[in-house]
Amino acid sequence: MTGEHSLFNVYQPRPLILIISGPSAVGKDAVLNGLKQRRDLPLYFVVTATTRERREGEREGVDYFFVSNETFKKMIEHDELIEHALVYGENKGVPKAQINQALHSGKDVVLRVDVQGTMAIKSLFPNTVTVFLLPENEPTWLRHFTRRNSETEDALQVRIQTARDELKRVHEFDYMVVNAEGKLDETIATIEAILRAEHHRVHPK
């Protein structure tokens, strides 16, 4: 009876760390905001720090922590970031305090991390589940770059080339999900299904 009883206690799902990543203009923010609207999965959303300017509609402490280059440098010096990287000329990093709070929440932890930082976090937390968002096709994807109208042509071309290089790293991720135009709900449903499946692994990562 003891063996049988212990078998029924095997299923004790542990919180997962989920990284949403992918190239620029693929819709990471839209996917993250969509996940925040879902109430059927307990999720903790980690807010990253960045030195880039705040865009219209973005909220401090919700979308990002917007900090100066000087403040970001001090965060690095004081070992306050779990990882950081220079992305498109701006610094981005994940505060350790955010991760610590998240891991103690008992919820699945969701991070939006650029491709450069994903593997750094996964090396520290091997059970991290990584999802790479892909654009539906190149013409639709490239249109998203020009909609912002917030950078010079040269800067835009650098961003596009960097994004193309990031696309080549999809094989480093656990899952790839196409974020098709007008099908955000399908993208979010797929990510939710990934989380549910990961919780049912016989041998957790």
Cite the active site residues: 55, 148, 159
Cα–Cα distances in angstroms (integers) from residue 123 to residues 87, 119, 130, 139, 163, in the given order: 20, 6, 12, 34, 23
In the numeric block, the tokens 């300017």 are attached to 53
Cα–Cα distances in angstroms (integers) from residue 41 to residues 10, 110, 122, 186, in the given order: 21, 11, 22, 16
User: Quick one: CA torsion of 49, 53, 56, 62, rounded to 10 degrees?
Assistant: 10
169, amino acid identity: R
H-type alpha helices, 109-182: 115-124, 138-147, 153-167
Element (H or E) spanning 8, and its range? Answer: helix 2-8
